[in-house]
């Protein structure tokens, strides 16, 4: 595991000679390490993040989302309930991070949520040891409640909620193909820069493409098959985030909303250029959901439908399988604090909802695995038996077996 400090020193020394050979494709001059002349782009591709192994007949990957709770420090009640409304009454606007860290629901969940993230990380490690997962595919919300940026507080959160949370066994080597969620963009550009440009240098398991952008593509390559993944930042597509009252309204989301056509073009051109058997769109928000169908994502979905691709998303804090528009939607948003309401308390709102990992009282923690091979992708939903001293928040009789599975056999085009 590379740390930022031990990377910067040798890279600085190597810089002039090494850069020519490193294949840095784009100048990312927007990010500059403090007190140095080293741009993120300069060091970005020197060695790069880990990637999944190539050449397997069957490659297993884990799909995981909505996990990053550990270490979150909410704003205190005194501030949230008294000072914040008083400031607002005077027309003093508090920063979005500060407002967001007052979220009353999230404040109520934090103790349980942290424990659930820890228990679920152990469960994911156990299943992945059994199944030999080679990589993790993240669908975002990496750091509640207000993301991380390049500050001491951000670094501490990065360590607590991810670096040390996912360790040992498969976690020691498997790369995480990362994605941004709504919580990740609350700090704006500085938060996005930390996750897309700094984190890959901080820890080589954290993968965010090769250009330091919030959208990117990667391929997984087997012995006789390949799969093309496109990651986009769905935060840029939601019109609700463009309201000036939204905690997600900042210069980053404004800019990427106005340039969202770039992400559409990137998705379209990457899918068109790819001859892979399998194509995936990896993003945070759901187009098909048991809670809220984000119709603003329609332009992305037109491209998905045209290429017979599969969608992986999070945001709803539960696990689900939806089939609509001849497309599979894999929801894996349950690696942190699961919420039954996000899966309509377990009741399918229509025949498009094939599976919901919830009941009338609670939703399960867990994640999804995909066993990818030439002719079939086996998709398995692992739901954790949530026993605790004095009860069971979600009962699964034998949770080392998947609670649900389905197969994708229709190749992409
Ligand atoms: C990268 O930056 C250097 C120095 O500012 C400049 O000379 C070069 O043209 C830039 N390359 C690209 C591809 O923009
Ligand atoms: C940054 O570059 C400038 C101009 O090349 C140079 O004078 C300065 O010493 C450099 N600073 C560091 C920290 O290397
Ligand atoms: C890059 O990898 C090589 C070979 O593993 C290693 O010797 C070198 O120290 C690494 N460079 C950095 C900057 O981590
Ligand atoms: C796990 O899967 C990878 C990729 O197919 C393979 O290289 C490796 O040998 C497998 N490990 C075990 C223990 O089966
Ligand atoms: C937290 O977990 C306990 C069981 O440990 C449960 O009884 C309680 O309802 C949970 N609280 C919340 C807010 O989820
Ligand atoms: C938000 O937008 C509304 C109408 O679009 C405007 O009246 C208001 O002044 C704006 N508030 C801020 C803080 O910019
Ligand atoms: C797709 O291929 C065209 C033609 O080779 C190329 O210009 C374009 O950059 C490629 N798009 C992507 C996203 O790789
Ligand atoms: C969400 O989409 C599905 C599939 O098209 C549809 O059946 C359902 O009614 C939609 N839900 C809402 C609340 O619009
Ligand atoms: C999905 O199907 C619905 C009707 O069932 C249609 O209104 C919508 O435009 C379709 N979306 C896409 C992306 O094809
Ligand atoms: C789910 O159940 C809770 C608690 O019983 C209730 O408040 C909520 O309205 C239900 N939500 C849905 C979508 O049915």
pLDDT in tens, 221-246: 999 999 999 999 999 999 999 999 99
Domains and CATH numbers, the chain: 1-47 (no CATH), 49-72+111-408 (3.60.21.10)
Residues 231/179, Cβ–Cβ less than 8 Å: yes
| 268 CA distance to ligand 3 middle (Å) | 35
The answer to whether the bond into 145 is cis (omega within 30° of 0) is yes
pTM: 0.86
**Is pLDDT above 70 for 184?**
yes
B/e letters for 8-23, b = 16+ CB within 10 Å, e = fewer, are eeebeeeeeebbeebe
**Is pLDDT above 70 for 149?**
yes
Specify the residue with its C-alpha closest to ligand 3, atom 1. 47
- How far is residue 130's CA from residue 399's CA, in Å, rounded to a whole number? 12
pLDDT of residue 47: 57
Q: Which of 18-27, 267-276, 361-370 has the lowest mean pLDDT?
A: 18-27
Specify the residue with its C-alpha closest to ligand 7, atom 9. 269
Instruction: Enumerate residues lining ligand 4, CB below 6 A.
Output: 53, 56, 59, 132, 134
Say if ligand 9 is within 6 A of residue 301 CB: yes
Q: How confident is the model at residue 197 (pLDDT cuts 50, 70, 90)?
A: very high
Say if ligand 7 is within 6 A of residue 273 CB: yes
| 390 CA distance to ligand 5 middle (Å) | 11
Ligand 2: nearest atom to the Cα of 35: 13
Q: How confident is the model at residue 267 (pLDDT cuts 50, 70, 90)?
A: very high
């Amino acid at each position: 595991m590379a740390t930022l400090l031990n990377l910067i020193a040798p890279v600085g020394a190597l810089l002039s000679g090494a850069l020519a050979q490193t294949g840095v494709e784009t100048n990312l001059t927007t990010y500059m390490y403090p007190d140095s002349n080293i741009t993120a782009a300069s060091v970005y591709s020197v060695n790069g993040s880990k990637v999944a192994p190539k050449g397997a007949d069957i490659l297993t990957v884990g799909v995981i989302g909505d996990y990053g709770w550990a270490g979150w420090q909410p704003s205190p009640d005194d501030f949230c309930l008294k000072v914040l409304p008083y400031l607002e009454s005077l027309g003093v606007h508090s920063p979005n991070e500060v407002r967001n860290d007052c979220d009353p629901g999230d404040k109520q969940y934090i103790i349980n949520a942290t424990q659930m993230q820890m228990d679920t990380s152990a469960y994911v490690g156990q299943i992945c040891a059994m199944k030999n997962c080679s990589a993790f595919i993240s669908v975002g919300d990496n750091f509640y409640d207000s993301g991380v940026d390049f500050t001491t507080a951000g670094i501490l959160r990065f360590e607590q909620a991810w670096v040390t949370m996912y360790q040992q066994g498969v976690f020691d080597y498997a790369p995480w193909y990362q994605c941004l969620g709504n919580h990740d963009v609350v700090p704006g550009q500085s938060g996005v820069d930390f996750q897309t440009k700094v984190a890959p240098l901080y820890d080589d398991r954290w993968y965010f493409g090769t250009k330091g952008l919030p959208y990117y593509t990667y391929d997984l390559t087997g012995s006789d098959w390949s799969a093309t993944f496109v990651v986009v930042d769905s935060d840029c597509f939601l019109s609700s985030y463009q309201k000036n009252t939204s905690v997600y309204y900042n210069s980053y989301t404004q800019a990427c909303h106005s340039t969202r056509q770039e992400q559409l073009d990137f998705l379209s051109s990457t899918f068109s250029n790819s001859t892979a058997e399998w194509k995936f769109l990896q993003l945070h928000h759901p187009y098909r959901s048991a809670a809220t169908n984000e119709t603003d994502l329609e332009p992305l979905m037109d491209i998905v439908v045209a290429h017979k691709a599969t969608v992986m998303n999070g945001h709803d804090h539960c696990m689900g399988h939806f089939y609509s528009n001849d497309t599979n939607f894999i929801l894996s948003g349950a690696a942190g604090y699961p919420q039954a309401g996000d899966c309509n308390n377990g009741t399918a709102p229509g025949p498009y909802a094939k599976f919901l990992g919830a009941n009338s009282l609670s939703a399960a923690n867990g994640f999804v695995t995909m066993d990818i091979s030439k002719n079939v992708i086996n998709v398995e939903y692992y739901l954790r038996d949530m026993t605790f001293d004095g009860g069971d928040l979600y009962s699964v009789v034998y949770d080392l077996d998947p609670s649900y599975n389905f197969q994708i056999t229709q190749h992409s085009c």
